[in-house]
C-alpha cells in the first residue's frame, strides 16, 4: 500500500514539474496609451518575452506602389501614433499618421521566446479608406519575399476591402473581416513561424492605420528552479516516511 502511495506521489510531482503545454495571447495596443520604447521613431513593444518592432518604410519616388518591386530594399521613414492608431509621420497623402499605398509599416515578429510558436496574428485596422493589404517577408525592409505575381500584383497574405472605392470582385477580402463602408476591420494570419508582416493601403488614394495587434502562441512552460527543489524535497520526504514505517 505504501509503495503504491509512493509511486502515486512521484507521478503527481512529476506532472507538476514537467514542462507544461500552453496556449496564450498578447495584445499590443498601438494607439496612444500603449507601452513602448522609441528609438529614432522605430517603436519597440515588449510583453511576455515577445519583442515586436515596428518600422516605417518608403518605397521611393521611382516605384509607383510598393508591390511593383516587392523584393527591393526600401528606405526607412518615421512612424507616429495617434488616438486611433499608428501610421507614417509624413504621410504624403493626408498627413494624418496613416499608411498610404507607396509606404508600409513593417511588423517585426522574427524573434520569439524559446519553446514558443506563433500560431496566428490578428491585425486590427482603423481609419480605413477603402481597404488594406498585409504582405509577409523573411527580410527586413522588403515588402514581400516572393516574386510570384497575379498579373502585375503580388498576392498579399491578407487583404481587406470595405467595398466602397473598389469592388470585392476585383479585390476580395483575404483572411480579413470588414463591413461595407466600415472604417475598422481586422485580418487574421495563421502562421506556424515568425517573420515580418508589412501593412499598406489597398490601392492608390487608400489609407489605413494599425490600431492593435494580437499575437496568439503556443509553447511549453519550463518549471522554475525553486519548484524543482521543492519537488525533490517532497520525494525525499516520502522516502523517509516509508523507511520509518518499515522500521516500526
Q: Write the pLDDT tens digit of every residue in 102-132.
A: 899 999 998 889 999 999 999 999 999 999 9
Angle of helix 2-17 relative to helix 225-247, nearest 10 degrees? 180
Q: Is residue 8 part of a domain?
A: no
From residue 160, alpha-carbon distances to 117, 175, 177, 183, 204 in Å are 26, 8, 7, 11, 14
Residue 166 clears pLDDT 90, i.e. is over it: yes
Contact 42, 51 (CB under 8 A): no
Burial class (CB in 10 A: 0-12, 13-18, 19+), 178: buried
Structural domain boundaries enclosing 91 = 31-219
Cα distance between residue 190 and residue 136, in whole Å: 12
Q: Is residue 237 part of a domain?
A: no
Please give the pLDDT value at position 11: 45
The answer to whether 188 touches 122, Cβ cutoff 8 Å, is yes
Instruction: Count the domains in the chain.
Output: 1
Residue 202 lies in a domain: yes
Return d(Cα 173, Cα 161) in angstroms, integer. Answer: 6
Write the CB contacts of 192 (distance below 8 Å, at least 6 apart in sequence): 117, 118, 119
**pLDDT band at residue 68 under the 50/70/90 scheme:** confident
pLDDT tens digits, 127-165? 999 999 999 998 899 998 865 555 556 789 999 999 999
Predicted confidence at residue 242, as pLDDT, reads 54
Asked whether 247 and 44 are in contact (CB, 8 A), the reply is: no
> Is 7 inside any structural domain?
no
Which of 120, 134, 137 is closest to 195 using CA atoms? 137
Please give the mean pLDDT across all residues of the chain: 82
Strand 149-150 to 153-154 pairing: antiparallel
pLDDT at res. 93: 64
> Rounded CA gap, 11 and 2, in Å?
14
Domain-located, residue 233: no
Asked if residue 125 lies in contact with residue 209, where contact means CB atoms within 8 angstroms, the answer is: yes
Model confidence at 13, in pLDDT bands (50, 70, 90)? very low
Rounded distance between C-alpha atoms, residue 116 and residue 21, angstroms:
10
Provide the grid cell at 232.
525533490
* Residue 4: band (very low, low, confident or very high) from pLDDT cuts 50, 70, 90: low
Higher pLDDT, 210 or 239: 210
Amino acid at each position: 500500500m505504501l509503495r503504491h502511495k509512493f509511486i502515486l506521489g512521484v507521478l503527481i510531482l512529476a506532472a507538476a514539474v514537467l514542462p507544461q503545454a500552453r496556449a496564450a495571447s498578447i495584445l499590443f495596443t498601438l494607439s496612444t496609451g500603449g507601452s513602448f520604447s522609441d528609438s529614432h521613431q522605430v517603436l519597440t513593444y515588449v510583453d511576455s518575452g515577445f519583442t515586436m518592432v515596428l518600422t516605417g518604410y518608403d518605397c521611393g519616388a521611382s516605384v509607383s506602389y510598393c508591390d511593383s518591386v516587392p523584393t527591393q530594399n526600401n528606405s526607412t521613414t518615421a512612424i507616429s501614433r495617434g488616438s486611433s492608431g499608428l501610421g507614417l509621420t509624413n504621410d504624403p497623402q493626408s498627413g494624418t499618421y496613416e499608411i498610404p499605398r507607396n509606404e508600409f509599416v513593417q511588423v517585426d515578429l522574427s524573434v520569439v521566446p524559446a519553446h514558443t510558436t506563433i500560431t496566428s496574428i490578428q491585425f486590427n485596422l482603423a481609419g480605413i479608406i477603402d481597404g488594406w493589404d498585409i504582405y509577409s517577408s523573411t527580410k527586413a525592409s522588403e515588402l514581400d519575399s516572393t516574386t510570384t505575381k497575379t498579373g502585375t500584383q503580388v498576392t498579399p497574405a491578407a487583404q481587406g476591402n470595405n467595398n466602397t472605392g473598389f469592388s470585392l470582385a476585383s479585390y476580395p477580402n483575404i483572411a480579413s473581416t470588414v463591413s461595407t463602408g466600415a472604417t475598422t476591420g481586422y485580418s487574421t494570419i495563421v502562421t506556424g513561424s515568425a517573420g515580418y508582416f508589412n501593412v499598406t493601403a489597398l490601392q492608390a488614394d487608400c489609407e489605413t492605420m494599425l490600431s492593435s495587434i494580437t499575437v496568439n502562441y503556443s509553447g511549453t512552460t519550463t518549471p522554475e528552479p525553486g519548484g524543482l527543489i521543492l519537488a525533490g524535497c517532497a520525494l525525499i520526504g516520502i522516502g523517509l516516511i516509508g523507511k520509518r514505517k518499515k522500521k516500526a
